[in-house]
């Protein structure tokens, strides 16, 4: 994962997670905040959850039932340490710290490690929201994983749905890339699958056997 090749949507999700922690007056960013960020950040992860019948409003309600907001002085703490892999990622983004210098919990860090592992195992050259979602449930012990599991989600089920949305099959080993955060491309045995996320949130998968046909399709997009 050269240079932490996270998509713009993942960066947005991590920023939303930090904002969620701030709203709850927490002095840390945990898996629960990452899950809340995923529910608002759009992308393949959100579409996968919706297509599996998960109500994102219910996800938020379930998370808030399990967490205790801190007081106005941010007294709620968790075992965590600043920096680490997520700190390095934040530095790479050039995001800097919010008004609260929030560290990430060890479970949140593990989630990111598992997300990168998921991308490597799928031979994707980027880490998208789909990998972050899979990393979240693979972590197993955090609040994020607990909420997803309580709603009937499994690692296998989520992975299959993610790959269906990406136009691949479980047995495929694909190479992925991003184009302006809009299109992911998978080359497999001279076939190219374009997974297009439209501005209205629709995801459309198209398979081409010739590169010039795929390029022509891309050039025909108006955005």
pLDDT beyond 80 at 148? yes
Q: Is the pTM of this model over 0.75?
A: no
Q: How confident is the model at residue 192 (pLDDT cuts 50, 70, 90)?
A: low
Lowest mean pLDDT among 22-31, 111-120, 136-145, 174-183: 174-183
CA distances from 210 to 70, 190, 218, 220 (A): 56, 7, 13, 16
* pLDDT at 123 (0 to 100): 86
Which residue intervals of the chain are DSSP H helices? Answer: 8-23, 31-40, 43-51, 56-66, 84-93, 106-121, 129-139, 143-150, 155-165, 211-220
Q: Give all domains of the chain, ordered by start, each with its CATH number.
A: 8-165 (1.10.1780.10), 178-220 (no CATH)
State the Cα torsion 166-169-175-177 to the nearest 10°: 0
Tokens for 115?
A: 């997300």
User: Mean of the per-residue pLDDT values for the chain?
Assistant: 74
Question: What are the pLDDT digits (tens) for 3-14?
Answer: 457 888 998 999
pLDDT beyond 70 at 173? no
Tokens for 67?
A: 């967490």
């Amino acid at each position: 994962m050269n240079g932490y090749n996270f998509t713009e949507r993942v960066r947005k999700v991590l920023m939303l997670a930090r904002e969620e922690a701030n709203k709850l007056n927490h002095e840390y960013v945990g898996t629960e905040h990452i899950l809340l960020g995923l529910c608002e950040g759009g992308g393949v992860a959100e579409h996968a959850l919706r297509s599996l019948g998960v109500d994102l409003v219910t996800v938020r309600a379930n998370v808030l039932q399990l967490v205790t907001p801190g007081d106005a002085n941010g007294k709620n703490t968790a075992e965590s340490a600043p920096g680490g892999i997520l700190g390095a990622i934040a530095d790479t983004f050039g995001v800097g710290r919010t008004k609260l210098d929030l560290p990430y919990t060890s479970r949140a860090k593990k989630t990111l490690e598992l997300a990168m592992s998921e991308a490597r195992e799928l031979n994707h050259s980027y880490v998208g929201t789909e990998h972050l979602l899979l990393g979240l449930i693979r972590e197993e012990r955090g609040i994020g994983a607990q909420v997803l599991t309580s709603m009937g989600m499994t690692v296998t089920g989520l992975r299959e749905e993610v790959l269906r949305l990406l136009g691949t099959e479980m047995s495929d080993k694909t190479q992925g890339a991003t184009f302006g955060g809009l299109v992911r491309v998978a080359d497999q045995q001279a076939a190219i699958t374009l997974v297009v996320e439209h501005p209205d949130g629709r995801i459309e998968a198209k398979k081409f056997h010739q590169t010039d046909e795929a390029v022509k399709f891309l050039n025909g997009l108006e955005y």
